[in-house]
């Protein structure tokens, strides 16, 4: 039987579903509707096109409608917006956005890939010229035209997520002084605060101004410029504004078709990507899927999951059985010379939902220290207190961040524990890693915590512990204290002197040994507890403490 498959929307979801459907069936009739001109483009590359990193506009266009028709024998209809669904009659209503003509098209199976729409808060002046969203190629054309032709001196990015950071970088590289206004106390919400603080420091070093814990109140004209008024009373004059305050699933069509909408606002689908209507599937930014770590419903606006969902939806629409098991939300972002990445659950989410977890921080070299060019890689992992099962990971550094977050994402999907991280045999040569890779190191430290070889405390607990008479012992050298800074009220005993000076300590007290990144703190802890002292090592050492207390 020849199936008529209609697909609403292109790009990562719709175009992938269409191509997969043709590979599965040469006989299927496949029609794809796209309300714009571009059915397949690299939307993740748009900030880099504006920044001239990607020089040729055509490099963003993965396939034109004509190329797609030719290769896949698919009826591609651009400038065609699906405005309604009659699920009972199995038909969609289409509006030709060029001519205004309306017509209906029937289907046997329907795949929805409408994506997500940028949130446009109802702020005074938001309709002024030179206030932009960045969602598609025409958006990037408009922004790039302003930057190319008008040479703006400064810009405001409202929101410190992926788009806000990437645009801040690319505008800055083009000589546009950029301020990020963010309502949260940090950029990059997938990261926990202390990890994001590394980005704060780097952004400021690159001349990007951060206006954190502050929102926009209104926009107004200031001559030929825009005045951005914040909720805390600051006014920022600029030449252009980029709105990147978030997105929400485009569920209008789904609601109109009476499809079930999940608690997150996304279209509810099962593990075959089928909606509450057995003939309608949905994929991409518009759908609610299962979080692989917690099992909770979640939205994941990422190209990787959208591609996988599209393949699965196409398979099932054409009679094959394929399953989407869930998402980890694995992501990575370049911020000037730094890279930040995350996978799985973060601490904020685990704490909010009362899910038991432990945390470990490690700071390792990106490759062997004796080989030139090594940089520091900061890793935070979250794991189950009992089994050591890995729940989430975050990494911030300059080199090798992407490959290590991919290892940890694979480990989470494989339900590995921190003990398994110790055993991973990862490629090593001095220019690329160390004999004990940073991923191995994170496993060693976490396993030591679980085995009881190391009792730890975290930066967030220090005030309480010190109020209860715990004593900090700084194990670093005098030179480190001079150049890297000191911890308030810490007793200074270099690690190599600790054994000889144990008589100076009180066994009735609790001691918190620490060093730069944690290793000497661990050594000090083992010396103390094996000599009858009460000790808790500061996880991540002075580095993590400093990260968490930046700006205070």
Cβ count within 10 A of residue 337: 12
Cβ count within 10 A of residue 87: 18
Label residues 24-37 b or e (16+ Cβ within 10 Å = b).
Answer: bbeebebbbbbbbb
Kindly report the backbone phi and psi dihedral angles of residue 313, in degrees, each rounded to the nearest multiple of 5, phi listed first. Answer: -60, -45
Q: Considering only CA atoms, which of 549, 538, 526 is closest in space to residue 472?
A: 538
CA dist list (Å): 292 to 224, 328, 415, 439, 536: 49, 6, 10, 21, 33
Label residues 474-488 b or e (16+ Cβ within 10 Å = b).
Answer: bbbbeebbeeeeebe
53 contacts: CB under 8 Å, gap ≥ 6: 170, 173
For residue 19, the 8-state DSSP code is H
Q: Backbone dihedral region of 80: left (phi > 0), alpha (psi from -120 to 50 degrees) or beta?
A: beta
- What burial class does residue 80 get, using C-beta atoms within 10 Å of its C-beta: 0-12 exposed, 13-18 middle, 19+ buried? buried
**Catalytic residue among 44, 154, 238, 515, which?**
44
Task: Decide: helix, strand or coil at residue 550.
Answer: coil
Long-range own/partner contacts, residues 372-377 (CB < 8 A, 24 or more apart) = 373/399, 373/431, 374/399, 375/399, 376/543, 377/401, 377/404, 377/438
How much is the CA Rg of the chain, to the nearest whole Å?
27
Q: Across the strands, what pairs with 334?
A: 339
- Concatenate the DSSP letters of all residues of 333-382 into one string: EEETTEEEEEEE--HHHHHHTT---EEEEEEEESS-TTSTT--EEEEEEE
Label residues 234-247 b or e (16+ Cβ within 10 Å = b).
Answer: eebebbbbbbbbeb
Q: Across the strands, what pairs with 361?
A: 380
Distance CA 133, CA 10 (A): 19
Distance CA 475, CA 491 (A): 9
Q: 509: which 2 tokens?
A: 């007290």
Pairing type for strands 209-212 and 177-182 reads: parallel
Question: Is residue 515 flagged as an active site residue?
Answer: no
Q: Which residues are catalytic?
A: 44
């Amino acid at each position: 039987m020849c199936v008529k498959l209609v697909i609403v929307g292109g790009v990562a979801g719709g175009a992938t579903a269409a191509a997969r459907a043709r590979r599965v069936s040469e006989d299927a009739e496949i029609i794809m509707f796209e309300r714009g001109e571009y059915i397949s483009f690299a939307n993740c590359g748009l900030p880099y096109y504006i920044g001239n990193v990607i020089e040729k506009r055509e490099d963003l266009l993965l396939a034109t409608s004509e190329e797609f028709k030719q290769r896949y024998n698919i009826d591609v209809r651009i400038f065609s917006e699906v405005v309604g669904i009659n699920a009972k009659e199995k038909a969609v209503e289409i509006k030709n956005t060029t001519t205004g003509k309306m017509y209906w098209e029937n289907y046997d199976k329907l795949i929805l890939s409408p994506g997500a729409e940028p949130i446009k808060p109802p702020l005074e002046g938001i309709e002024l010229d030179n206030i932009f969203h960045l969602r598609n190629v025409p958006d990037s054309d408009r922004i790039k035209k302003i930057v190319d032709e008008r040479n703006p001196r400064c810009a405001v990015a409202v929101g410190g997520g992926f788009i806000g950071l990437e645009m801040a970088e690319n505008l800055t590289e083009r000589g546009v002084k950029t301020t990020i206004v963010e309502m949260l106390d940090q950029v990059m919400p997938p990261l926990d605060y202390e990890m994001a603080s590394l980005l704060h420091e780097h952004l400021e070093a690159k001349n990007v101004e951060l206006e954190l814990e502050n929102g926009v109140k209104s926009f107004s004209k200031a001559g030929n410029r825009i005045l951005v008024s914040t909720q805390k009373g600051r006014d920022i004059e600029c030449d252009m504004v980029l709105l990147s305050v978030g997105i929400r699933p485009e569920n209008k069509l789904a609601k109109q078709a009476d499809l079930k909408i999940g608690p997150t606002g996304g279209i509810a689908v099962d593990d075959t990507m089928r909606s509450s209507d057995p003939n309608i599937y949905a994929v991409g930014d518009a759908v609610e899927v299962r979080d692989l770590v917690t099992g909770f419903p979640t939205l994941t606006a990422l190209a990787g999951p959208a591609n996988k969902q599209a393949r699965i939806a196409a398979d099932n629409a054409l009679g094959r059985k394929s399953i989407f098991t869930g998402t980890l939300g694995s992501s990575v972002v370049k911020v000037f010379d730094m890279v930040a990445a995350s996978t799985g659950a973060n601490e904020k989410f685990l704490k909010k939902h009362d899910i038991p977890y432990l945390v470990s921080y490690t700071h390792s070299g990106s490759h062997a220290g004796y080989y030139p060019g090594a940089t520091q890689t900061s890793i935070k992992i979250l794991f189950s207190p009992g089994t050591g099962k890995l729940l989430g990971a975050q990494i911030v550094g300059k080199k090798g961040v992407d490959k290590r977050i991919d290892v940890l994402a694979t480990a989470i999907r494989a339900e590995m524990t921190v003990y398994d991280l110790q055993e991973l045999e990862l490629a090593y040569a001095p220019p690329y890693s160390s004999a004990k890779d940073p991923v191995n190191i994170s496993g060693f430290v976490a396993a030591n915590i679980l085995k009881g070889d190391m009792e730890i405390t975290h930066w967030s607990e220090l005030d309480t512990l010190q109020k209860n008479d715990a004593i900090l012992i700084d194990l670093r050298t005098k030179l480190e204290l001079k150049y890297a800074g000191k911890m308030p009220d810490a007793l200074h005993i270099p690690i190599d002197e600790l054994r000889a000076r144990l008589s100076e300590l009180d066994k009735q007290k609790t001691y918190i040994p620490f060093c730069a990144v944690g290793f000497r703190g661990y050594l000090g802890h083992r010396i103390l507890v094996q000599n009858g002292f009460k000790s808790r090592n500061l996880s991540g050492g002075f580095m993590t403490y400093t990260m968490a207390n930046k700006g205070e």
